[in-house]
Structure 1
Amino acid sequence: MRPSALAILLLVLAACVPVVEGVGDEPVVPGAQVASAQFGEFTTGYEVLGAGPPVVMVHGIGGGSSVFQYRFNAPTVAAAGYRVYALDLLGFGRSSRPEQRTTQGDLVAQVTAFLEDVVGERAVLVANGLSAAHAIRIAAERPDLVSGLALIAPTGYRSLNRTQDASRERTFELLSNPVVSELATSFLIDESSQRFFLLDAYDSRESLTEEVLASFDRNLKVEGARWIVFSFISGSLDQDVSELWPATTQPALLVWGTAPGLSSYEDAEDFVLARPDARLVLLRNAALLPNEERSDAFNETLIGFLQGLHR
């Protein structure tokens, strides 16, 4: 399926998980240490806590995403006996925000370099949405770096799977036009627009707290925030997994929320048909972000999966 430009924009707004602007030296994840690593000319910001087998958490892709997405998960997993890394992708959080078109290959290379240079051993990748599709690619291409996959509402079969061709660059150039750029940015940072679309990201209105809304709003107003959003809208970050997913051999956990919204658990069918051995867990009363809305159930499921790998 080729989503319309409007649908993609709505997904951007709804999939964004906020990061508090100007986080400085204070960790976003409770109990974590703030660190950074060099990635070519750019910097990867990350937080780390715990001791034990490594687990690397990669947030979803949207205008306000960051390690903030795993604030309810990383501490619990670390306490269960794991060394947890939560990293910010390029364009997000403490990582560099390149004022240019970012591609799927750039983010795949960033996470791959992080696994090689920072983690230094095979790790379980926990990833959400489009980042889960990128994690699948890394697992297929570099099985020496990935020991397991825990994927939250992964994309790549029915959505966000557009071919990487010249049209991706042309769309980005159109969005980068000063007039179009300003109009799109004005829409992105409008508080009423944010609230309207974020309601589809959560099943419960209680999950959409004023703290979440405020930090989301601030993050979209950070200098340089627009470029990764435009990269997403242009399809430059899309990743088809129809050939990659069946090629993975690592143990895999698939988690979806069952509440209606921008992510449908019906997408799980393609993943399960291609790999019947993968474990599928559906969490009620959760939409796009079950790791937030049903954090206790998600954490229990994830830790059980991890313990099964390390027996």
Structure 2
Amino acid sequence: MNKTVQRLLWAGAGVAALAAANSAIFAKAKAQGNPLGGEGRFWPGPYGDLFYARQGKGLPVLLLHGVYEGASSYEWRKNFDSLSEHFNVYALDLLGFGLSDKPRIDYTGQKYIEQIEQFIKEVIKEPCAIVASSLSSAYAVQAAHDLPDLIQNLILVCPTGLRRLSKEPGAKTELAYQLLHAPLIGTTVHNALTSVPSLRYYLMNQTYFDPSYVDDEMIEHYFTVSHQYGSQNAPPAFIGGLLNHSVAAAFPALTQKAIRIVWGREARMTPLSDAEAFLAANARAELSVFDKSGLLPQDEQAQGFNRLVVELLTEDAPRATRTRSKKPQENE
């Protein structure tokens, strides 16, 4: 046997071993359940079935989680029950995440916008409010611009689309996407990014202000969600910039009743300084800042966050004082 054949055999064995290791990691993950409770249903969207939980009566409120490895409506677990005491709350798992289908397709920001708009038209079917987090805020802004009669209030948590995650993907990010979209390489990188040590580091150092929030139960949840079959299909599009969406045109044109920007003061990846661009772009926008909070004030400061949402969306509640200074309104 010549050396070339030997090398090919060793390479093939290495690829097979890597593929087997990837499959074993997914096989070990537990089955995922609905983290919120309420009434769980599936809606047949244009690219696959989308899972959503619904609970409550009154004004419809749609909760949209952020986009990242292991993302799902779990992000709203401390808000769903509380808000459903006042509103008819829908918590949607975006395509490729949570309990929704995870097809191997080309994911784009525009596809997500289309799905959100169609979900509102076909499932909610009446004027609603959207509470969105991170990149999903950009999709919510575009949907509100397109459907002003159906989306009457917006609450955006650490939004993107003006300074961050707004540019079209470049050559380098396109190459990264192609590599990560390749089955073997992509799944291997996905498993590395969603290993227990990687998840713990990201959540403790990039997501939460108080690392004590990150316990073993949370890590187990994120590991489980990110190792359901197909969960490696959507994240490469995020890393490669295909999910970016600019709201430079849509956000200044919004005329919704309430446009509230919410930020965690200690947010790292999307810092509080980004809020100034949103306040400058639309005079109707108002800012609320939660101390002792990172990217997820709805989790770290859930009680104050829930109170803010109820006050904003209840018609007879007094409006909070408008804040546009460098020292924004604080909420405890």
TM class by smaller structure? 0.7 to 0.9
1:236 counterpart = 2:245: no
Greater relative CO (CA pairs within 8 A, separation 6+): 1
Q: Which structure 2 residues correspond to residues 179-258 of structure 1 after superposition, within 5 A?
A: 179-199=184-204, 200-250=206-256, 251-258=258-265
Letter aligned with residue 32 of structure 2: V
Q: For residue 178 of structure 1, report the CA deviation from its aligned partner.
A: 4.2
Kindly indicate whether the alpha-carbon contact (under 8 Å) linking 1:153 and 1:254 is maintained by their aligned counterparts in 2: yes
Q: Over residues 230-258 of structure 1, what are the superposed CA-to-partner deviations in whole Å (9 max), with x where a residue is unaligned?
A: 01001111011111110111121110000
Unpaired stretches in structure 2, ≥5 consecutive residues: 1-28, 319-332
In structure 2, how many angstroms separate the alpha carbons of the residues matched to 1:60 and 1:149? 15
In 2, are the aligned partners of 1:188 and 1:220 still within 8 Å (CA)?
no
Q: Following TM superposition, by how much is the alpha carbon of 1:307 offset from its aligned partner in structure 2, in angstroms? A: 0.9
**Which structure would you say has the larger Rg?**
2
Q: TM-score if structure 1 supplies the norm length?
A: 0.87
Q: 2:31 aligns with which of 15, 18, 22?
A: 22
Q: Provide the C-alpha distance between the structure 2 equivalents of 1:157 and 1:256, rounded to a whole number of angstroms.
A: 15
Determine the C-alpha separation between the residues in 1 that align with 2:74 and 2:214.
Answer: 14
AA aligned opposite 1:262? M
Change (3 A) 1:182 1:50: closer
Deviates more, 1:169-178 or 1:188-197: 169-178
**Do residues 290 (structure 1) and 297 (structure 2) align?**
yes
Deviations 1:102-122 (A, max 9, x none): 101111111111100000011
Residue pair 1:51, 1:78 contacting (<8 A) in 2 also: yes
Give the C-alpha shift of residue 189 in structure 1: 2.6
Distance 1:220 1:23, change over 3 A: closer
Equivalent position of 2:50 in the other structure: 44
Cα contact 2:207–2:267 (8 A) shared by 1: no
Alpha-carbon separation, structure 2, partners of 1:54 and 1:283: 25
Are 1:132 and 2:137 an aligned pair?
yes
Shift in Å, 1:179 = 5.0
SS in 1 for 2:99: coil
Matches within 5 A, 1:131-170: 131-163=136-168, 170=175
Counterpart residue identity of residue 201, structure 2:
F
Deviation per CA, 1:82-120: give whole Å up to 9, x if none: 100001000011211011221011111111111000000
Evaluate the alpha carbon distance shift between residue 266 and residue 309 of structure 1 in structure 2; reply closer, same or farther with a 3 A threshold: farther
Q: Report the more deviating stretch, 125-134 or 167-176.
A: 167-176
| Deviation of the 1:276 alpha carbon | 2.6
1:276 aligns with: 283
> What's 2:16 paired with?
none
Aligned to 1:3: none
Give the C-alpha shift of residue 196 in structure 1: 1.2
The number of residues matched between the two structures is: 288
Aligned equivalents of 2:153, 2:316: Cα separation in 1: 8
* Contact kept? 1:263, 1:287, Cα under 8 Å: no
**Matched residue type, 1:142:** L
- Asked if the contact 2:255/2:284 (under 8 Å) is kept, the reply is no
Q: 1:310 to 1:42 in 2, by over 3 A?
A: farther
- Counterpart amino acid of residue 259 in structure 1: E
| Corresponding position of 2:76 | 70
CA contact (8 A) 1:108 1:135 kept: yes
Deviation of the 1:144 alpha carbon = 2.3
In structure 2, the residue matched to 1:13 is none
Deviates more, 1:47-56 or 1:206-215: 206-215
Q: Which whole-Å CA distance do the structure 2 matches of 1:41 and 1:262 have between them?
A: 30
8 Å Cα contact 1:21/1:215 also seen in 2: no
How many angstroms apart in 2 are the aligned matches of 1:21 and 1:303?
35
Does the CA-based 8 Å contact 1:258-1:265 persist in structure 2?
A: yes
In structure 1, the gaps of 5 or more residues are 1-19
Once the 2 structures are TM-superposed, how far is the Cα of residue 167 of structure 1 from its aligned partner? 7.2
Contact 2:109 2:139 in 1 (8 A): yes
Q: Percent identity?
A: 29
Alignment check: 8 A CA contact 1:47 1:86 kept = yes
CA contact (8 A) 1:56 1:84 kept: yes
Q: Displacement, 1:260? A: 4.3
Output the CA distance in 2 between the equivalents of 1:118 and 1:186.
35
Give the deviation of 1:125 after TM superposition: 0.6
1:227 alignment partner, SS class: coil
C-alpha contact 2:134 2:157 (8 A) present in aligned 1: yes
- Is 1:95 aligned to residue 104 of structure 2? no
CA distance in 1, matches of 2:135, 2:247: 10
Give the C-alpha shift of residue 23 in structure 1.
3.4
